[in-house]
């Protein structure tokens, strides 16, 4: 067996997604959900997901609920893989139509102020669909991503291919510059000083940045790089939070929060909102398998934010 044939990513993106695309859209997502739930049985990260849910939820994340969370987590991740394919290949209006936007006029007005706007988001729900959400709003937005080109030597060739193609798809919908983590930080400041929106994922815990801070996250803390705080301080750009909430089928709802200044408090406000969403539906947080590495409880007996 060749290396690529043994890679689940190769099978999903080169074989599975094109096969699903032959179905009606609703059936594409139903089949993707079932595929993900089937793969949850014996998944290498199943124990880590259960342990993460147990750490966050305490007694409320018992064995029965833990097993259900694993299934729902993998069902969602499978539909996210399908989003990737549709954003790369489906007609743009059809993908945009999958997204509902809360408080659309508020977001558009905030972006139109001309001060720049840092749109914070998280590894939650159908994150990649933030591009179609921006298109639905009629906004052009730059975005910051992990480095996924030839500089990302820790990634496999297939992981780089998937990451790069997804970045191209997001840029196609969002319409602005694509900036990677290893690019000069001056590019980020330039976007905001031109008065443009910039999308930043705030729970990117794997960053090598030594400048970090502990932010409250439910009854615990996350250690997160402070680059976005320093970026807001340097440019004076306001902040907002947008989460791409999965509705269980092909539909996605973008939920929006205005965030208070100064930047440190705005980022904490964003984490408070993300924590509430995660405790309500923990399977929507992509980082659930990594909880032991990134989250520290404040007290042993608290289990709700």
Burial of 154 (0-12, 13-18, 19+ CB in 10 A): exposed
- Could you tell me which residues are beta bridge partners of residue 125? 244
Cα 297 from chain centroid? 23
53-95 pLDDT, tens digit per residue, is: 999 988 666 677 889 999 999 999 999 999 999 999 999 999 9
β-bridge mates for residue 197, sequence order: 117
Q: Cβ neighbours of residue 184 under 8 Å, at least 6 residues apart? A: none
CB 240 within 8 A of CB 112: no
State how far the Cα of 75 lies from the Cα of 79, in Å rounded to an integer.
Answer: 6
Q: What is the reported pLDDT for 107?
A: 84
Q: Is the pTM of this model over 0.85?
A: yes
| Kind and range of the H or E run holding 145 | strand 141-145
Integer-rounded Cα radius of gyration of the chain: 19
Structure tokens at 291: 């909880």
Tell me: the pLDDT tens digits for 123-160?
Answer: 999 999 999 999 999 999 999 999 999 999 999 999 99
Residues 61 and 304 sit within 8 Å (Cβ to Cβ): no
């Amino acid at each position: 067996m060749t290396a690529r044939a043994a890679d689940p990513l190769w099978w999903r993106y080169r074989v599975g997604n094109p096969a699903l695309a032959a179905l009606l859209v609703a059936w594409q997502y139903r089949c993707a959900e079932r595929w993900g739930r089937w793969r949850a049985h014996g998944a290498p990260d199943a124990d880590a997901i259960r342990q993460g849910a147990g750490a966050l939820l305490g007694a409320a994340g018992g064995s029965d609920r833990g097993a259900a969370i694993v299934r729902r987590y993998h069902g969602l991740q499978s539909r996210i893989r399908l989003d990737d394919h549709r954003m790369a290949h489906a007609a743009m209006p059809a993908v945009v139509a999958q997204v509902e936007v809360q408080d659309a006029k508020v977001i558009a007005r905030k972006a139109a102020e001309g001060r720049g706007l840092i749109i914070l988001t998280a590894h939650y729900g159908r994150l990649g669909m933030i591009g179609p959400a921006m298109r639905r709003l009629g906004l052009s937005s730059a975005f910051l991503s992990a480095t996924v080109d030839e500089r990302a030597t820790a990634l496999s060739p297939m992981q780089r291919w998937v990451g790069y193609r997804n970045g191209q798809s997001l840029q196609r919908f969002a319409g602005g510059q694509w900036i990677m983590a290893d690019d000069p930080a001056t590019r980020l400041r330039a976007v905001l000083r031109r008065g443009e929106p910039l999308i930043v994922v705030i729970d990117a815990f794997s960053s090598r940045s030594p400048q970090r801070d502990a932010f409250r996250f439910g009854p615990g803390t996350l250690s997160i790089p402070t680059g976005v705080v320093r970026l807001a301080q340097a440019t004076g750009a306001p902040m907002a939070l947008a989460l791409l909430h999965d509705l269980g089928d092909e539909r996605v709802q973008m939920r929006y929060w205005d965030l208070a200044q100064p930047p440190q408090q705005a980022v904490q406000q964003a984490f408070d909102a993300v924590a509430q969403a995660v405790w309500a539906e923990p399977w929507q947080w992509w980082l659930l398998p990594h909880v032991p590495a990134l989250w520290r409880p404040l007290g042993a007996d608290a289990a709700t934010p």
